[in-house]
Amino acid sequence: MSENVLVVGGAGYIGSHTTLALQEAGYRAFVYDNFSSGHRDACFGEALIEGDMRDTAKLVETMRQYRIGSVIHFAALIEAGQSVITPLPFFQNNVGGTLALLEAMNTAGVSRLVFSSTAAVYGNQTHTPLLGEDLARTPVNPYGDSKAMVETILESCAAAHGLQAIALRYFNACGADAAGRSGERHDPETHLIPLVLQAALGTRADIKIYGTDYDTPDGTCIRDYIHVSDLASGHVAAVDYLLGTEAAGMMPVNLGTGIGQSVRQVVEAVKRISNREFTIIEQARRAGDPTTLVADATRARDLLGWQVRHSDLDTIVRDAWAFEQRRASL
């Protein structure tokens, strides 16, 4: 029998793509979600279990019923800007929910975890062109703080309980499944590429650029944009790795391209691929936005045998544009 994987938050953007990738790789994926932000039509697993991550008893029951061997944890609040305004829900869900999940795993005897972490744990470390996993965790917003806290908790659980964990530090997830099965649709939407695409479609009045005075070539923030299908394959590679080792521990691994793109470069790519013009409004910086976040992805390549295949900016925008057009036509 192939490995049974519980995908917590599997009805969300990255979770749905990862569920598809797991099944294509021969795993049996089971989706666990409370639908606070996920979508029922994005559940592609063998079974859907509706429940909250903080419901330890239900998680234990689920893990035992479906004979779960590994868990992938996506269930987090992710809006960094909002975390500055209302931090408590981020700690309640992202930290408190993970504690409940870890308690359930320990009770059910499940020792393998792939955790959805973030490049936000690095904060604003502008002294280095590429961010490597051995840098200190210095987040600059409560969202990043919550993820850094979870990484610390995972280290303690690895030492105390034999947990085998990989914390995948994402850079900027974007794009959509090339076959159109899933894509980005947060409510409210806060991510740059879908916001710009909606401006190009005319479903949004304009696109706002927050900060044009950063220490970058064009004055706007630089990010490492990674196609969601490449992120999904990184999770499959992480499960593969954990299945092949007996060693307990918590290993952080970047998932990124090593190439930075500015906000203005993204806007220009959308204009080029959509062949549409739209209104751009420049505004002041937002609190908690680092200047540059670009990955050193060497560890993912060497440890997991992973590499990006779809993450050039034009492919990302083209796939996301096709998905947004389909959504607008429904």
Residues of the chain with pLDDT under 50: 1
Helix (H, G, I), strand (E, B) or coil at 190: coil
DSSP state letter for 33: E
Domain range annotation of the chain: 4-174+226-255
Q: pLDDT, tens digit, for every residue of 4-25?
A: 999 999 999 999 999 999 999 9
Q: Is 210 a catalytic residue?
A: no
Q: What is the pLDDT of residue 206?
A: 96
Q: How far apart are CA 133 and CA 119, in angstroms?
A: 10
Identify the DSSP state of 254. Answer: E
Predicted local confidence at residue 187, as pLDDT: 81
- CA-nearest of 204, 177, 172, 211 to 188 is 204
Topology given in CATH for the domain delimited by 4-174+226-255: Rossmann fold (3.40.50)
**Residues 6 or more apart from 156 whose CB is under 8 A from it?**
none
How high is the pLDDT of residue 127? 76
In this predicted structure, what is the pLDDT of residue 129?
80
Q: Which region holds residue 202: left if phi is over 0, alpha if psi is between -120 and 50, else beta?
A: left
Question: Do 13 and 186 contact (CB within 8 A), yes or no?
Answer: yes
Among residues 32, 66, 143, 210, the one annotated as catalytic is 143
Query: Is this model's pTM higher than 0.85 or not?
Result: yes
Amino acid 190: pLDDT? 86
